[in-house]
């Protein structure tokens, strides 16, 4: 039985990914900062709940101890993420973004990933087929955002794409450091979730496809890569 932890899994892409993997036979832990929402989501899914705030060392360490006591972990999906938005649902641009906004975004999207990785790597190392999926974004691609012929070029925000580019670098470096694991970044696509004020053009079912696919790769699968549903993406 494959045991999988998904951070930020009480709604959106995390919830749909949990639903799909549970249906595929995984023992799924729904990681959520809010205990009530997390437990409710886990009950709906027939999954297990673990309280996990990726910005808090004590919370992450306690989650790792709880999952270790229950038998260990095979798949880690770093899904929890935020995007700073104003009251009118716009994003801070180059002329308006602040250091505090950048710091707040990185605390969840980047430092949270590092915090969770360090807590769960010892458990993953005991697995016969350990997998890490870092949920990134197409907006992390320096190639595409600097190409005036690519639609991503016109996204004006600063904090979110910068944080996801950092996540991609984490993927590359951790994959090299842990060659026995399959560690990859994925781009779900512009999915309708609370993160973007529900302005996305895809359903969560469509967005979760690549997350679910990469969560189920075997030991001979790719590592250190960046993928969407159509294949590899340019860095």
The DSSP letter of residue 141 is: -
Helices (H), the chain: 12-23, 35-45, 57-69, 99-109, 111-124, 142-145, 159-177, 204-215
164 is annotated as an active-site residue: yes
DSSP assignment of 61-103 equals HHHHHHHHHTT--SEEEE--------TTS----TTT--HHHHH
160 is annotated as an active-site residue: yes
- DSSP helix/strand/coil, 213: helix
Total number of residues shown for the chain: 235
Measured distance CA(175)–CA(48) in Å, rounded: 28
Q: Are β-strands 231-232 and 48-51 bridged in parallel, bridged antiparallel, or unpaired?
A: unpaired
User: Catalytic: which of 11, 65, 155, 160?
Assistant: 160
User: Catalytic: which of 164, 178, 192, 226?
Assistant: 164
Buried b (16+ CB within 10 A) or exposed e, 62-91: bbbeebeeeebbbbbbbbbbbbbbeeeeeb
Catalytic residues: 160, 164
């Amino acid at each position: 039985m494959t045991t999988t932890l998904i951070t930020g899994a009480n709604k959106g892409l995390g919830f749909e990914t949990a639903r799909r993997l549970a249906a595929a036979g995984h023992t799924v832990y729904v990681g959520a900062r809010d205990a009530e929402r997390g437990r409710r989501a886990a009950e709906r899914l027939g999954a297990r709940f673990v309280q996990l705030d990726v910005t808090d060392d004590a919370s992450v360490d306690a989650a790792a101890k709880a999952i270790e006591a229950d038998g260990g972990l095979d798949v880690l999906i770093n899904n929890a993420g935020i995007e700073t938005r104003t009251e009118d649902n716009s994003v801070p641009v180059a002329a308006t973004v602040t250091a505090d906004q950048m710091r707040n975004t990185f605390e969840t999207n980047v430092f949270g990933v590092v915090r969770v990785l360090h807590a769960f790597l010892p458990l993953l190392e005991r697995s016969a087929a350990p997998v890490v999926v870092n949920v990134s974004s197409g907006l992390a691609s320096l190639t595409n955002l600097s190409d005036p012929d690519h639609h991503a070029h016109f996204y004006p925000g600063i904090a979110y794409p910068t944080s996801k580019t950092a996540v991609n670098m984490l993927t590359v470096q951790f994959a090299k450091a842990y060659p026995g694991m399959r560690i990859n970044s994925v781009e779900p696509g512009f999915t309708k979730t609370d993160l973007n004020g529900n302005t996305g053009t895809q359903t969560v079912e469509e967005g979760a496809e690549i997350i679910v696919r990469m969560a189920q790769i075997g030991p001979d699968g790719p590592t250190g890569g960046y993928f969407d549903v159509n294949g590899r993406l340019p860095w």
